[in-house]
Amino acid sequence: MDTVVTLTLNPAVDLSTSTDHVVADRKLRCDARTFDPGGGGVNVARVLHELGVPARALWTRGGLMGDLLERLLDEAGIAHEPIQIERETREHLTVLERSSGRQYRFNLPGPRLSEAELEEVHARVAGLDPRTSYLVLSGSLPLGTPEDFYARLAEASPEGCKVVLDTSDGALQRGVEGPIYLIKPNVGELGRLAGIEIEGEHQIRDVARELIHSNGVSVVVTSLGPAGATATTADEHWHVIAPPVQARSAVGAGDSMVGGIVAALARGRPLEEAIRWGVAAGTAAVKTDGTQLCRRADVERLFDSL
């Protein structure tokens, strides 16, 4: 039985490379490219696998990129279940400019899912093993998908399964209308949910508490980048400060944070400790190159320093 299931409606093949200078109107000579499986829930499943927590990734598979993504997941040893779609799975490109250390990220649009394909996704979630502990809904919605689709999936999930939602914009605004256990916005996303510009931690706490009281969300984890994260419940509020590290790539840091949190919760650890694992995993991810995610040894070492 899978302790955790992740769902990625808009997965991607992450292609990364580097070049000396990124210059307009010139042919750029790049280093050898690397490929990684990507997309919110896929990345969370990769982190859970790295941290030794049983998980299964549901994801939409289409075309040649879907074939490649399936092979990458198989090679990584990730338990997964593709949901076949007609159109092509998308790809991302990340380019490191070595001369400056700047990273350029190109996110291409994903496929539009048909009504029948969305119904199949809904049926897969409704048919999950009733003993599933956590369902992670992560990443953007495909083009044309109703903004309340994550809320519908949360309602279809097994009774007692805790739903973690990590998305943005309208998908987050409408997603919290469903029975959601935990959300992980950044400060800007949290402010947009409340229709205000957040200027301090007291506002983070107050806005999170209002979401908890008005929408029924149990936990709001607000990522703060290098400053770590806050976690707010109806009764408690914590701020875990991230340890300083030499940042190499921000790709996947948020997904790593979610993976660290869910891994600890799935092991029965208390919420306060789980947030520390999340900050450790997110911080560990920025230490890796390109589209690599956190490494278990780094996560454990950073957790011990918190």
Are 261 and 229 in contact by the 8 Å Cβ rule? The answer is no
Q: Is residue 56 part of a domain?
A: yes
Overall average pLDDT of the 7-23 stretch = 94
Strands 102-107 and 90-97: antiparallel
Q: Is residue 24 part of a domain?
A: no
Bridge partners of residue 138, in order along the sequence:
166
Residue 252's pLDDT is: 77
Count of CA atoms in the C-beta half-sphere (13 A) of 120 = 16
Residue 250's pLDDT is: 72
Q: Is residue 296 part of a domain?
A: yes
Q: Which of 110, 134, 290, 127 is nearest to 218 (CA)?
A: 134
List, for residues 261-285, the tens digit of each pLDDT value.
999 999 999 999 999 999 999 999 9
Number of domains in the chain: 1
List, for residues 116-164, the tens digit of each pLDDT value.
999 999 999 999 999 999 999 999 999 999 999 999 999 999 999 999 9
Domain residues for the domain of 193 are: 4-10+38-88+111-305
Using CA atoms, how far apart are residues 272 and 295, in angstroms rounded to an integer? Answer: 22
3-class DSSP state of 213: helix
Both structure tokens of 71: 């092979």
Residue 185's pLDDT is: 96
List, for residues 187-239, the tens digit of each pLDDT value.
999 999 989 999 889 999 999 999 999 988 999 999 998 899 999 999 999 99
* DSSP assignment letter at 96: E
| 1 pLDDT more than 60 | no
Count of CA atoms in the C-beta half-sphere (13 A) of 45 = 32
Q: Is residue 153 part of a domain?
A: yes
Residue 236's pLDDT is: 96
- Least confident window among 63-67, 97-101, 251-255: 251-255
Q: Is residue 258 part of a domain?
A: yes
Using CA atoms, how far apart are residues 209 and 202, in angstroms rounded to an integer? Answer: 11
Q: Which long-range contacts (CB under 8 A, 24 or more apart) does 184-191 make?
A: 184/221, 184/222, 184/223, 184/254, 184/257, 184/258, 184/261, 185/220, 185/222, 185/223, 186/222, 186/223, 186/224, 186/225, 186/254, 187/222, 187/223, 187/224, 190/220, 190/222
Q: What is the pTM of this model?
A: 0.94
Q: Is residue 25 part of a domain?
A: no
List, for residues 32-82, the tens digit of each pLDDT value.
889 999 999 999 999 999 999 999 999 999 999 999 999 999 999 999 999
CATH number, residue 179: 3.40.1190.20
In degrees, to the nearest 5, what angle opens at C-alpha 276 toward C-alphas 219 and 153?
35
| 290 pLDDT more than 70 | no
3-state SS, one letter per residue, for 102-142: EEEEEECCCCCCCHHHHHHHHHHHHCCCCCCCEEEEECCCC
Q: How confident is the model at residue 246 (pLDDT cuts 50, 70, 90)?
A: confident
| 2 pLDDT more than 70 | no
Residue 12's pLDDT is: 96
Residue 137's pLDDT is: 98
Q: Which of 255, 289, 298, 304 is catalytic?
A: 255
Q: Where are the beta strands (DSSP E) in the chain?
A: 4-8, 12-19, 34-38, 55-61, 80-84, 90-97, 102-107, 134-138, 162-166, 182-183, 219-223, 229-232, 237-240
Q: Is residue 28 part of a domain?
A: no
For this structure, is 255 an active site residue?
Answer: yes
Q: Which of 58, 1, 64 is nearest to 35 (CA)?
A: 64
Using CA atoms, how far apart are residues 204 and 227, in angstroms rounded to an integer? Answer: 14
Q: Is residue 31 part of a domain?
A: no
Residue 256's pLDDT is: 95
Overall average pLDDT of the 284-300 stretch = 86
Phi-psi region of 296 (alpha: psi -120 to 50; beta: other; left: phi over 0): alpha
Which are the contacts of 18, defined by CB distance < 8 A and separation ≥ 6? 30, 31, 95, 96, 97, 98
